[in-house]
Amino acid sequence: MSSRILANPDSRLKRGVKRCVMLAGILLLAVATWLWFTMLSPWYYQRPPDLAPVADGPHQVFVYGTLRYAPIRFVVMGTSGSPEAASLGGYRRCGLNIAPITIPSVTTKPAPDSLINGLVLEVSALELARLDRYERLGVRYTRRQITLQDDTPAWVYRRLASKAPAGEAIGCPGSDTIDRPI
């Protein structure tokens, strides 16, 4: 009887497999559409007009969140960005943000959370513009110049407060910026 069910093209098993394959295809198409709409479409993000244009030449960008993962960098920039391990000292990570630590330590040892490990990417002006789009520069994040542990200057994205004056980054407890809800 089981061979009769498998031989019948209208069997429940074959219909179930077809349905699963079709749903997987629809899901894949939905994810691809969302990625295109979010990363590349001209409709979803408009760069705020008051932001300075991206300068030509290579740029160093310190990444500490989702951009540490090569598949995400490839979707966003079209390349992996030649990542190298890097650290940012004197900052604290809290959720989607980082903020400088300005409260003096009682001990001479640095606080365990005063060092953020990540990657530094060397990117072109076009790739930096794509990163700006991914991070929603001027809407969700601001891009600031910082100095890494090895004295390399690099850009870093910091989260913007949703109800703060334009360009004001939110902070973490013990940082130079006010703790605000996102």
Are residues 133 and 83 part of one domain? yes
14 token code pair: 């074959």
Confidence of residue 136 (pLDDT cuts 50, 70, 90): confident
CA distance 173 to 177: 8
Are residues 26 and 99 part of one domain? no
Task: Output the pTM of the full model.
Answer: 0.69
Lowest model confidence (mean pLDDT) among 22-26, 30-34, 100-104, 138-142: 100-104
What is the pLDDT, as a whole number, of residue 108?
Answer: 42
What is the pLDDT, as a whole number, of residue 58?
Answer: 94
What is the pLDDT, as a whole number, of residue 13?
Answer: 82
Q: Does the residue 130 lie in any domain?
A: yes
Are residues 140 and 64 part of one domain? yes
CA-based angle 121:125:129, to the nearest 5?
A: 90
CA distance 42 to 38: 9
Confidence of residue 178 (pLDDT cuts 50, 70, 90): very low
Instruction: Report the Cα 90 to chain-centroid distance in Å.
Output: 21
Where in the sequence is the domain holding 116, given as residue range(s)?
Answer: 59-159
